[in-house]
Amino acid sequence: MSAPRRRLALLVYVGDPSGTDYPLALWSLRGAAAADPHVSAAWDVAVRVFPHGASPGAVARAVAGASPDLVGLSTYVWNAATILAAGAAAARLLPGVPIVAGGPEAYPEAEERLARSPWLAGVCLGEGEVAFVELLRARAGGGGWPARGWARRGEDGRVGRDPEPAPVPMDDLPVLLRPGNEEMARPGGPVLYETSRGCPFACRFCYWSGEQLGARVRRRAADVVEAELDFALSRAPRELFLVDAELNSTVEHATRVLEAVVRARERHPASARTVVGLHLLLGVGRVDAGLARLARRAGARVIVGIQSLNPRALKRMGRGWSRIDVFHEELALLREAGNAIYNFDLIYGLPGDSLAHFREGARWVLDRGHRLWVGPLLVLPGTRFRSEAEEHGLAYAPEPPYEVLRSEGWSPAEIDRARRLGIGIDLYNRVGEALPIAAAALGTDLLDLLEAYGEAVDDGGDGPGGRGAPSASVRLAEFLAARAGEDGGLAAWTGELLDHWEHLRRADPRPFGASGPRSEEVPGEAPPLAPEARLRVGAPVLFRTYRFPIASFHRGWEGPRRPGRASVVLFSPSLPGGAMEVPPGTPAALRALDGGATAAEAGGAMPPGSKVLEVLVARGVLRPA
């Protein structure tokens, strides 16, 4: 007697597995199925990832080619259009095969999703591990649907909704980062890991909140976290990203996790180059000096999701507990401990905010040399802003990603101006401090320059973060040359500055402001600045070779940079292109100059034979003569 045919459940995702957009949730479903003896005896569970840009038809043909017995779609705001179209096409190729969906683009309005998608058999309610395993059990036994966890279409075509399972304790979830799961932690690749689920807050813009997934934060046991982090860092990944809503939901939990990271790094020296990314919540008294120092020892790349620096907007979004004064104090603790703040997140279009306040917040971040992500408010299904849209004057696009069109304090024209500024800020994140220098050389405000660039290159399409994408035919150097007008020397200088910076960016491809090691070798020769691009006389400053990255030099300064003060850029066409070290005392000399001291008063930090470049020390300015 032959063994019964094993069944195949195919879980499908559209994303970017080379980055940090890979299907952690689906791997957890697969792990839960493998841990259940009844399910694992009857089912194979496979995860298939398709890249962004894949056509729905291509995805559907690949899914049908696997001959699955059940198909599961993982839906998010960034992939919903593609993956749902692919599901509809796959249903035509796989008659009789149930296709189900889960994730934040399906669950919050499950009945409506089923009504709009007659090919869809069911929608998973909430977290999927319990519902998925029980569905596979029911199907293996010849039954239909389990008694909980699904909104589904009955045999009569009517849509019903079963009870939702309670959130699962973290220690009942499968352990994913372990021997045998090497595909989840490839050397040189990204690793995502969650040490907790849930959020103690209920921000109106966020689906990941107490209203949807339970206000109680559930955390993994300390020994499990220790073992999984050890396995992950033993694989020397490029990046380990802790995907907790807020790692410091308590200081004690964040401390335990970061201490485990430090110990794992010590056991696995190859992980020294791994960047550890994490979100820290600032403004609620959950960052102290000890945690700040520990984050630095762990090699953390800190992401701060402040969303707005306007107290009125914070209160309207449900973050009235966030105090701006405490935010500044905690940020100072992180900076004083030597942490690189990788990214600040700001949202435009928030009710109670305004374009002026948004620009003020962006200026505050950029003036301090931080990397900034900006994006529109997304009025997501299942969020309080969605259910309270009329109360907050919100109008939004009816299809994903549900971008805000208007809100209290924002006209459509002002939202479009913020979008164009976002295009320029996206450029700033790629080019770094070349743009503040160019803005000063052109005698224009940095934010005005960034917005003007966004307006010049905006083709109205969807770029990173949902903003308009720069046209490929428009180069930044051409834009700056046009701004320079008839001043040919200035136009040439700004173009050469950007070419020069591009060489350094290729040599050190980390995003501006990122922490972690950089390559010591710089391929090729940097293009020299033209001799005629003379610079205005200011305070003499010790020069390094043009192989030294500007952003890295600033990261070497002790203490936070002061707004409105100097930021010195170092170039020389006359020095050989050797990789020299910064002489001792140089940062102190520059800080002294920053305060208005002369070169002599800076303490003689210029060793004999050093070349000197004359620069203007004021708000990070180098100006052509």
Supply the mean pLDDT for the chain: 76
In 170-238, beta strands by DSSP E: 190-193, 196-197, 218-219
What is the mean predicted confidence (pLDDT) over 297-309? Answer: 87
The tokens for 571 are: 């170039």
Q: Any alpha helices (H) in 394-549, and if so which ranges?
A: 412-431, 434-442, 446-457, 476-484, 488-507
Q: Look at 123 and 471; give whichever has higher pLDDT.
A: 123
Task: Note whether 369 and 432 are within 8 A (CB).
Answer: no
Residue 252 has pLDDT above 80, yes or no: yes
Q: Hey, what amino acid is at 89? A: A
602/502: higher pLDDT: 502
Partner residues linked to 13 by β-bridges: 49
Confidence category of residue 17, pLDDT binned at 50, 70, 90 = low
pLDDT of residue 141 exceeding 90: no
Identify each DSSP E strand in 257-403 by its residue range.
275-279, 300-307, 340-348, 372-376, 395-396
Q: Which pLDDT belongs to residue 462?
A: 41
Across the strands, what pairs with 190?
Answer: 239
Q: Which residue type occupies 527?
A: P
Helix (H) or strand (E) holding 60: helix 56-65
- CB atoms inside a 10 Å sphere around CB 485: 10
Higher pLDDT, 190 or 229: 229
Winning range, highest mean pLDDT, from 29-33, 335-339, 598-602: 29-33
Residue 579, pLDDT score: 28
**What integer pLDDT is reported at residue 113 of this predicted model?**
93
pLDDT for position 457? 82
Q: Which phi and psi angles does 44 have, rounded to 5°? A: -105, 140
The arithmetic mean of pLDDT across residues 159-167, rounded, is: 89
CA nearest to 377, candidates 356, 359, 397, 357: 397
Mean pLDDT along residues 502-507 = 49
Q: What percent of the chain has pLDDT over 90?
A: 44
Buried b (16+ CB within 10 A) or exposed e, 254-284: bbbbbbbbbebbeebeebeebbbbbbbbbbb
What is residue 488's predicted lDDT score, i.e. its pLDDT? 54
Predicted confidence band of residue 502 (pLDDT cuts 50, 70, 90): low
Is the pLDDT higher at 491 or at 293? Answer: 293
Digit-coded pLDDT (tens) for 607-624: 333 333 333 222 233 333
pLDDT of residue 183: 85
* Contact (Cβ atoms closer than 8 angstroms) between residue 69 and residue 40: no
pLDDT, position 285: 84
pLDDT beyond 50 at 539: no
Choice between 599 and 392, residue whose per-residue pLDDT is larger: 392
User: Based on the number of CB atoms within 10 Å of its own CB, is 224 exposed (0-12), middle (13-18) or buried (19 or more)?
Assistant: middle
Question: What distance in Å separates the CA atoms of residue 427 and residue 435, rounded to the nearest whole number?
Answer: 9
Secondary structure letter of residue 582 according to DSSP:
P
> Who wins on pLDDT, 485 or 618?
485
pLDDT in tens, 549-605: 232 233 332 333 333 333 333 333 333 332 233 344 444 444 444 333 333 333 334
pTM of the model as a whole: 0.77
Q: H or E stretch including 588?
A: helix 586-594
pLDDT at 393 > cutoff 70: yes
At residue 271, does pLDDT exceed 70? yes
Closest C-alpha to 128, from 168, 98, 91:
168
Q: In the structure, what pLDDT confidence band is assigned to residue 468 with cuts at 50, 70 and 90?
A: very low
Q: How confident is the model at residue 289 (pLDDT cuts 50, 70, 90)?
A: very high
Question: What's the pLDDT tens digit per position in 233-251?
Answer: 999 998 999 999 889 888 9
User: Cα separation of 264 and 269, whole Å?
Assistant: 9
pLDDT at 340: 64
Report the DSSP beta bridge partners of residue 624. Answer: 535
Task: Encode pLDDT of 317-330 as tens digits.
Answer: 988 777 888 888 89
| 319/353 Cα distance (integer angstroms) | 13
